Amino acid sequence: MTGSDRRIRVVTLGGTIAMAPRNELGGVAPALDADELVAAVPDVPKLGRIETDAFAQVPGAHLRLVDLVRLSRRIEEAFKDGVDGVVVTQGTDTIEESGMALDLLLNTDRPVVVTGAMRHPTQPGADGPANLRNAILVAASEKARGLGVLVTMNDEIHAARFVRKAHASRPSAFTSASAGALGWTAEDRVRIPLRPVGRVFVDLPDVEELAAVALASVALGDDGRLLRLLPDLGYQGVVVAGFGVGHVPARMIEDLTAVAYQVPVVLASRTGAGETFSDTYGFPGSERDLLARGVIPAGALAPPQARVLLSLALSAGWPAARIAEAFDVLSG
C-alpha cells in the first residue's frame, strides 16, 4: 500500500490553524471547519484518502486533559474503523501537553500526528496548510509506525514526549532541545533517521474526573508558602519545576518534604532542556537531598509533560514506584 492509498483521518480541535476574524470581539478566533482546513492543502488527493472529523472548535488554551481522554477514545474508534493514520490539528499553546497525553493513552503502532499553526490563515506566510500537508504525509508513511505520537511543525518531526514550544510566535517555535527532532519532510518525502526508545501506556479506567496535579515553578528566594497550600486545595500530585538539574531554595525544603508525605511530588527542571540528576550534588535542596525525601525524578521530561504523566498515572491508580519507572523509561 502506498501513501496515497492509505486512509488518513484529520481530526480538528480548533486553534490558530482554524482561526478567522471575529467581528464582535475583534481579533481572530477558531472558525474554519475540518473540511475547510483540508481544502486549503495543495494536492490533497495525492496524499491519501482523506477523511475529516470536527471534534472541537476551541483555542488551544481552552483544552482540558479530560478532552484529550475523549479524543483518544475517538481515535481508537477510527482505528477500529480501518483508518491507517490520524492527524490532529489544534492550537499550539498546548500541543506539547496534548501530544504527551495521546502518546500515553493510545496503545497503537499506527501513526498519530499532531500539528497546528503559528500564523493564522489571514496572515502573510500562514503556515497551517504546509504543516497540515506534512502531518498527512507523516501519518501516511510506514516509517512513522511504532514511534508513538508525533508532532510535525515547520517541516520537522518530533516525539511528543520531548517537544517544547520554545517561542511565542515564530513558525520555528517547536524544538526538542533535549533529544533533537526525529526527522523531517522534504519534497513530499518523510525522513525519520532517529527512533525513540521505550513506550509507556496508561490504561485509564472509566473515571468521572482526572487527578488534579499542580505545576509549581521555583524562583529565586522562593519560600514554599504556595507549595504548602496545594494538598489542602485538593491537588493529588505536584510537579515542581526546579532550578538546573533539580534544585530548590533551602527555605522550601521542609514544605516540599511535608507535601511529599501527603501526595506524590515529581521534580523536573525548569530550564527547558536536559534532565534532572540523581547522584551529583549533595547540599540541602539538591537532587540527592530531595530524592532521599521521597521526591520522584522526572528525568528528561519537561514540567508540562511530567504533569500530564503524573495526572494520568494517578488517575489509573499507579503507585509511586511505577510512576518513577515510567519517567525513567520515557527518558530513554
Q: Determine which one of 12, 16, 175, 276 is catalytic.
A: 16
Query: Comparing C-alpha atoms, which of 186, 107, 88, 188 is closest to residue 146?
Result: 107
CA distance 329 to 309: 12
Dihedral, CA of residue 298, residue 299, residue 303 and residue 304, to nearest 10: -100
**Do 131 and 17 form a contact (C-beta atoms < 8 A)?**
yes
- CB 38: neighbour CB atoms within 10 A? 22
C-alpha torsion sign, points 194, 84, 141, 131 = negative
The whole-angstrom separation of Cα 326 and Cα 319 is 11
162's grid cell: 520531548
Nearest CA among 134, 213, 124 for reference residue 174 = 134
Helix, strand, coil percent content, the chain, rounded in steps of 5: 35, 20, 45
Spatial separation of the C-alpha atoms in residues 12 and 221, rounded to whole Å: 43
> Comparing C-alpha atoms, which of 314, 315, 316, 309 is closest to residue 330?
309
Site of grid cell 519532510:
185
Whether residue 16 lies in the annotated active site: yes
Active site residues: 16
